[in-house]
Amino acid sequence: MADTPLQIAGREDKTEPRVTVAGVLVNAAKGAVADVQDYAKLCGRTLVTLVTPPFYLQDVLQQMDSIGAGSLPIILLSGFFIGAVMVLQTGSQFTRFGQSSLTGDVVAIALVRELGPSLTGLLVTGRCATGIASELGSMLVTEQVDAMRAMGTDPVRKLVAPRVIATLLTLPLLTAMTDFMGLLGGCVASVFSLRLSAIEFWRRAIDALDFADLMQGFTKPFFFAFILATIGCYKGLTVRGGTQGVGRATTQAAVLSSVLIIVADAFLTKVALFLADKLF
């Protein structure tokens, strides 16, 4: 009887390498270290392209429109309702002690120092880091990135730098919009829910803020912008596994950027508080 391919395959000496727990852990650790190294290299190259010509101004403007103007509706809407919810949550506690007028102080400080930058960072991550990863990932799997390199264009300069510059320029502005809309939402909620006067709310909110709060609130977005843009680009440019890989990279970009933004926020807050004590 003739051998079938299956019979022949079954007779072959299959000595597959043994899979051990230690082996898997070592490989995972090696992969993580390699990822960090590649990401650091990409960040380094990006920083160089930010200060050396040629610059792709048209691409920067396009990305600013996409990342900045495109994110505005979700930022405005979310900011308004975050401020309103804060007033509703804190106002009920302050009312118990007859201090409902302090609501403006709390909302202003919490929004400007913390919630404005971090929520804007997370919202823009959800919308843009994923978009960047999927766009660049799709370009990679369809060989458009290779075509770009084959035609003498540096993909970091053409694709990564404009997205990073655009995010760095627009995220602080979006944060300012979140802060303003949050205060506006808080004002509306305090007027209708706590029966505070709008003038009293705004006066207390503005008086509660000092320069250190603004410094803290408007320094963080630059770091968050760099994180979300570079992670989105890195995940997009390291896609493996075709269209399925693009989907995976998109998810990873959202998750990793969000986690890194939250982790960075903790350290930045500590540094900002330390500097505020020393300098202001």
Partner 1 sequence: MAGTRPMNSPIRSSPDSSPTIKFESVRLGFDEGDVLRGVSFQVQERETLVLLGETGTGKTLSLKLAAGLLKPSEGNIQVLGRDVSSMAEGDLLAFRRQIGFVFQEGALFDSMTVGDNVAYRLLEDKVKDEEIEPRVLEVLRFVELEHTVDQFPSELSGGMRRRVSIARALINQPPIVLYDSPTAGLDPVTSQTIITLILRLRDVFGVTALLATQRLQDGFALANFRFDPATKRVVHSSSNGSARTRMAATRFLVLREGGVYFEGGQEELADTKDDYLKRFLV
Residue with tokens 């400080």: 109
For residues 225 and 164, give the distance between their C-alpha atoms in angstroms, rounded to a whole number. Answer: 7
Q: In the bound complex, what is the minimum distance in angstroms from residue 154's beta carbon to partner 1?
A: 6
The angle subtended at Cα 67 by Cα 148 and Cα 145, nearest 5°, is: 10
List the one residue out of 144, 170, 168 whose CA is nearest residue 47. Answer: 168
Least distance between partner 1 and beta carbon 48 (Å)? 11
Give least dist CB 62 to partner 1, A.
Answer: 10
| CA 45/CA 33 separation, integer angstroms | 18
Query: CB within 8 A of 95, min separation 6: which ones?
Result: 194
Residue number with CB closer to partner 1 (59 or 114): 59
* 139/196 with CB nearer partner 1: 139
Q: For residues 239 and 272, which CB has a smaller minimum distance to partner 1 in the complex?
A: 239
Nearer residue to partner 1 within complex by CB, 30 or 203: 30
From the CB of 26, what's the least distance to partner 1, in Å?
14
For residue 127, the Cα-to-chain-centroid distance in whole angstroms is 9
Amino acid at 189: A
- Binding residues (CB under 8 A) for partner 1: these are 142-144, 146-154
Q: Which is nearer to partner 1, 113 or 157 (CB)?
A: 157
Shortest gap between Cβ of 151 and partner 1 (angstroms)? 5
Q: Per-residue DSSP letters for 130-199?
A: HHHHHHHHHHHHTTHHHHHHHTT--HIIIIIHHHHHHHHHHHHHHHHHHHHHHHHHHHHHHHHHS---HH
Burial of 59 (0-12, 13-18, 19+ CB in 10 A): middle
CB 142, min distance to partner 1, A: 6
Looking at the Cβ atoms of 67 and 177, the one nearer to partner 1 is: 67
Minimal CA–CA distance to 60: which of 145, 135, 170? 170
Select 157 or 204, whichever has its Cβ closest to partner 1. Answer: 157
CB of 138 to partner 1, least distance (A): 8
